[in-house]
A and B are shown apart, each in its own frame.
Chain A
Amino acid sequence: MNTLIPGANAALTAENPGLTDLMVGFGWEIIPSRGPQAELVPLAILCDAHGKSLSNDHLVFFNQIVSQDGSVGFRDDRDVEEIDVDLARVPADVSKIVFVVYVDPDVRGAVNFSSVRSAYVRVATGDNRELVRFVLPAGENRTINVLMFGELYRHRDDWKFRALGQGYSTGLAGVAADFRIDL
């Protein structure tokens, strides 16, 4: 198993010939509260060569659980949340798939990562053989409401995974502006 630090990458298909089915798992712990609690939502964005979402339909999250092409789909099983990626079905115009996790922006509060601990993303084969894991560094996340956990990206004919760990303090509006999506 490979543990990454922010910015590091791992070759997936080059080191695992024939790999097509990936499972991207997310996990975290929330400090319990009697009041409103942060609710984390993973979101996959299928991006073009310029790093922008191909369309609003190229998003996968709990209420849009599969991409239009069927290559990226949602499931909830071994981790807190999981997203399946079938690399063979990913359209050629998708250059990377960015995985962000946002805190649902409910108007009743608890909308940042301050109560979140031990967040991670891991990439495994379809039969759950873990290939790489990235544990997000603990930090002062009181102003962070979206975190980019990592990204799958094409490198020549192969796919790699890069650990990111970058946060937004501008929420989903910032994500929407950066990736040119309507949220």
Chain B
Amino acid sequence: MALNNSPVRTDIGYLRRRVRPAPAAESAALVSTAPENAAPEPEPRRAASAGLSLAPATPGPASPAGTAPVAAARPVVSPDSLPFPAPTIDDVRELGHSEPVLRLNARESAVGSLIVSGADVAVWEDADRVTGSANAAGDLAGTPVTTSGNRPLVGFDEADAVVSLRHVQELRRALFVARGPHPLGVQIFDGSTVTTARGDDSRMFVLYLLRIGNLIELRAEPVDRTLSDDAILQQFGFTLTPHVVTRESRSR
């Protein structure tokens, strides 16, 4: 069965929590900020809607008085800046048919390394849409992305694929494929782990990593086992960008 590549349905009610609507006078400023398009944008744009709302009933200023202009201009974190609720890594032991998605919090998404064990192929797309892939044998395709810490944004370290979470803001999405007998495993800084389901004879699960704002979302996506790695990349819309090797200036 072909993978459904259509955008995620944000109009389906179960994806969002319904709360009591705010009073009419306030609703214009507080209405829902559901994602306009649930495709993984680095900084999801949000559109006003008169429907569901995740906003609090009142704005709740942090301080009643003495607010300086600099502080007033600073965005205050509020529930309406969050995407729809999703399980945490503590809620899910195995990503698969019954629990296809989990979301890391801002700290889990940003500290240390996200380690993916069992991966044979890792694919990345950074915030500038620079795309490349690596495999466990050390082969690279497309364009590598190296962070200011002299480490690949996504790459292999011995047998494990590693995502540099210090630079999570530079990452847009990644995909990990396992061809071996073992499922994919994910470990984060605090030691929490989750695995992907093994699948069946015809289908297997790949691990899809999305960054939504400052949060990482992990999804187990079923794909046909017979598909090649290139075909899987194509299904997920990854197009490897050509890598131009630059050299020192030869003008002298």
Contacts and interface: CB of A to CB of B under 8 A. Distances in A.
B203 interface: no
A68 B67 CA distance: 15
A87 to B, nearest CB: 9
A35 interface: yes
Interface stretch (A3-11, A101-109, A116-124, A135-143): A101-109
Contact of A89 (B62, B109, B115): B62
B149 A41 contact: no
Main secondary structure of the interface of A (DSSP, over half): loop
B152 to A, nearest CB: 9
A20 B169 CA distance: 31
Given A88-B66, A88-B68, A105 B74 contact: no
B76 interface: yes
A54 interface: no
B166 interface: yes
Interface string B85-126: 000000000000000000001110111110100000000000
A64 B107 contact: yes
A182 B192 CA distance: 12
A172 B190 CA distance: 9
Interface in B159-195: 162, 164-166, 168-169, 189-190
B194 to A, nearest CB: 17
Contact of A86 (B68, B115, B157): B68
B217 to A, nearest CB: 14
A106 B151 contact: yes
Interface string A62-104: 1110111111010000000000101011010000000000001
Contact of B189 (A33, A126, A172): A172
B190 A183 contact: yes
Interface centre among B71, B147, B148 (most CB of A within 10 A): B71
Interface residues of B, number: 36
A63 B70 contact: no
B164 A106 contact: yes
Interface string B48-78: 0000000000000011011110110011110
Contacts of B165: 104
A56 interface: yes
B28 to A, nearest CB: 22
B7 to A, nearest CB: 26
A37 interface: yes
A66 B66 contact: no
A50 interface: no
Interface residues of A, number: 39
A69 B113 contact: no
A41 B74 CA distance: 21
A183 B71 contact: no
Nearest to B65: A88
B110 A62 contact: yes
B6 interface: no
Most buried by B among A71, A84, A105, A108: A108
B214 interface: yes
Contacts of A36: 149-151
Given A63-B110, A84-B74, A89-B63, A106 B190 contact: no
B107 A73 contact: no
Contacts of B71: 21, 70-71, 73, 84, 86, 88-89
Given A89-B71, A108-B113, 16 more contacts: A21-B68, A36-B151, A62-B169, A63-B106, A66-B77, A70-B77, A86-B70, A88-B63, A91-B63, A104-B149, A104-B165, A106-B113, A107-B112, A110-B149, A183-B107, A183-B190
- The 4 tightest CB contacts between A and B, nearest first, are A88-B66, A63-B110, A69-B62, A86-B71
10 contacts: A20-B68, A35-B150, A39-B148, A62-B110, A84-B74, A91-B62, A105-B189, A126-B68, A126-B70, A183-B189
